Amino acid sequence: MKIVKESLLHLLFPPRCPFCDGILFHSVFLPPEQVCSECLDRQEYVKEPVCQKCGKPLEDEREEYCYDCSRRNWEYVQGKALWVYKGTVRDSLYRFKYHNRREYARYYGRELARIYGGWIRRCRIQAIIPIPLSRRRLRQRGFNQADLVARQVGKELGIPVYSHLLLRVRDTRAQKELNDEERKNNLKRAFKTRANKVQLDHILLIDDIYTTGSTMNEAAKELKQAGAVRVYCLSISIGRGY
Ligand SMILES: [Zn+2]
Ligand SMILES: [Zn+2]
């Protein structure tokens, strides 16, 4: 009965490859594919050398930090990211967010847990918090992409996810349209914690794209002001550090 139900579900909502959006081959006798065979190598994983602070790939392995991190201090302890933000990854994230491909979250979350589960444990993370959307943005989109991914990571690693602890109180303009100074102002008091006191020492923030780091930084700052001791960040994708 379970097999019949699953097959029917796959017929109605066939699982799709997160990179080309093609329908995945499905057999009740084999474990389900998560990515089609043609797309297995189409995404670039972030790998060493990376910036020891934000996790961006670096060109020069003698460098410890990227340009941004060598000239400013962050509120978070360390950040990691899964893929380089370009090509198929960029397209995949676009469909995920704007074409309602919520099912991609399962693969993203599993890959994050597979690659960074050890690091997350070493950081002794007690809670995962997705970067929230403003209420208006959430209404428009219908879901928070970071929340879906955070939930999958939490499920894989057995770590609780707190989706409502952090609030986005101010809608911010797309960061990429702004210069450095505008960016800083744009994020001023963008976040607020719901509880006056956060009783969690080690928190992991999750977002889909790490660009300038300002969003993660503001969220980490807010959590620390509420009582968190160490805040880490994890993103699905990140730009290069050069
Ligand atoms: Zn594919
Ligand atoms: Zn960096």
H helix or E strand, kind and range, residue 6 = helix 2-12
- pLDDT digit string (tens) for 110-123? 999 999 999 999 99
- Alpha-carbon distance of 193 to 99, in angstroms, equals 30
Task: Tell me which of 167 and 15 has the higher pLDDT.
Answer: 167
**C-alpha 152 – ligand 1 centre gap (Å):** 21
Domains belonging to the chain, first-starting first, are 1-38 (no CATH), 43-238 (3.40.50)
Question: Are the beta carbons of 35 and 18 closer than 8 angstroms?
Answer: yes
In this prediction, residue 177 has a pLDDT band, given cuts at 50, 70 and 90, of low
Note the pLDDT tens digit of each residue in 200-234: 999 999 999 999 899 999 999 999 999 999 999 99
Which helix (H) or strand (E) covers residue 111, if one does? helix 104-122
Predicted model pTM = 0.89
User: What's the gap in Å between 222 CA and the centre of ligand 2?
Assistant: 21
Model pLDDT, residue 61: 87
Distance 23 CA to ligand 1 centre (A): 8
Per the CB < 8 A criterion, the answer to whether 34 and 107 are in contact is: yes
Interval 28-41 mean pLDDT: 85
Neighbours of ion ligand 2 (CB under 5 A): 51, 53-54, 56, 66, 69
| 82, 237 Cβ separation under 8 angstroms | yes
Please check the confidence at residue 58 and state whether its pLDDT lies above 90: yes
Q: Which ligand is nearest to the CA of 50?
A: 2
pLDDT exceeds 70 at position 134: yes
Query: Which residue in the block uniquely carries the two structure tokens 């939490």?
Result: 154
Residue list, CB under 5 A from ion ligand 1: 17, 19-20, 22, 36, 39
CA of 36 from ligand 1 middle (Å) equals 4
| Ligand 2 midpoint to CA 240 (Å) | 9
CA of 26 to the centre of ligand 1 (A): 14
Residues 6+ apart with CB under 8 A from 110: 34, 152, 156
Q: Which ligand is nearest to the CA of 76?
A: 2
